[in-house]
Amino acid sequence: MDPQRVVDTIRSASRGKFAAAKAQEVLSAAQNSVGMKRALDGARISIRTLLTTLDAWRPIRQHLEAEMEALADQLPRYILTLPGATCLSAVSLYGETDPIDHFTASDQLVAFAGLDPVVFQTGQYEAPHRHLSKRGSPVLRQTLWLMAHAAIRQESSLRDFFLRKRQQGLHYLAAVTAAAAKLCRISWRVLTDQRDYVPEACPAKS
């Protein structure tokens, strides 16, 4: 990068706090820090090839996203009111759960998603920690997890639930998974009742 461009970038990013001196420090670190010296030309070719491949895939991705949006437009609108729902996740959720009346209770849908905890037990021994069964549909499980992960980053009752789990000592990923299981129950209620998601009206347990 041109040194002056580095100066301008640092000045802009630091809102005028740093400029030429910091730019020189960055340039010096870039030249002397640990990096790959051998086969540098080969690495550059590989990077350019990857970038070209990404450019080639961009129209295909855009086409698929347009197809997903078209499919989402055909779905009942209440599905898109679920926390963390996007066109892609709504299509995935609907495809994995339709017809919803195959699941007579939210527990059945949670089990189908493999989000139900199981305890390893043999003889007199019972493991102190539970783990997910991970049976059923891995696509539904991933969809709900991603939706929950998006939802907890916004102000919502699901975020409050996630924060309570964290305060109880759950690891971050475990707390997100617990939120995904809760979202699974909420989804069952919304899909069964065929109505928009309203936090106060959606019980966590059927």
C-alpha to C-alpha distance for 164 and 170, rounded to whole angstroms: 9
C-alpha to C-alpha distance for 141 and 136, rounded to whole angstroms: 9
Pairing of strands 131-132, 121-122: unpaired
Find the DSSP H helices in the chain.
3-13, 20-32, 40-73, 87-97, 106-112, 138-151, 157-167, 172-193
Say what the pLDDT of residue 164 is: 94
Query: Three-state SS for 128?
Result: coil
Instruction: Judge whether 38 lies within some domain.
Output: no
Residues 195 and 137 in one domain: yes
Residues 19 and 91 in one domain: no
Which candidate, 196, 173, 188, places its Cα nearest to that of 140?
188
pLDDT by residue for the chain (206 residues), tens only, comes to: 788 888 898 888 888 888 888 888 888 888 777 666 677 788 889 999 999 999 999 999 999 889 988 988 999 999 999 999 999 999 999 999 999 999 999 999 999 999 987 654 444 544 445 566 678 899 999 999 999 999 999 878 899 999 999 999 999 999 999 999 999 999 999 999 999 998 764 554 44
Instruction: Judge whether 174 lies within some domain.
Output: yes
Residues 101 and 187 in one domain: yes
Say what the pLDDT of residue 31 is: 79
DSSP for 46-88? HHHHHHHHHHHHHHHHHHHHHHHHHHHHTS-GGGGGSTT--HH
Instruction: Judge whether 39 lies within some domain.
Output: no
pTM above 0.75, yes or no: no
Instruction: Judge whether 45 lies within some domain.
Output: no
Angle at 135 between CA 90 and CA 64, to 5 degrees: 30
Residues 28 and 81 in one domain: no
Instruction: Judge whether 53 lies within some domain.
Output: no
Residues 119 and 175 in one domain: yes
Residues 84 and 9 in one domain: no
Residues 13 and 88 in one domain: no
What is the residue whose two structure tokens read 């209440």? 78
Say what the pLDDT of residue 107 is: 93
Instruction: Judge whether 37 lies within some domain.
Output: no
Instruction: Judge whether 63 lies within some domain.
Output: no
Say what the pLDDT of residue 120 is: 46
Residues 16 and 106 in one domain: no
The number of domains in the chain is 2
Its domain, for residue 14, covers: 3-32
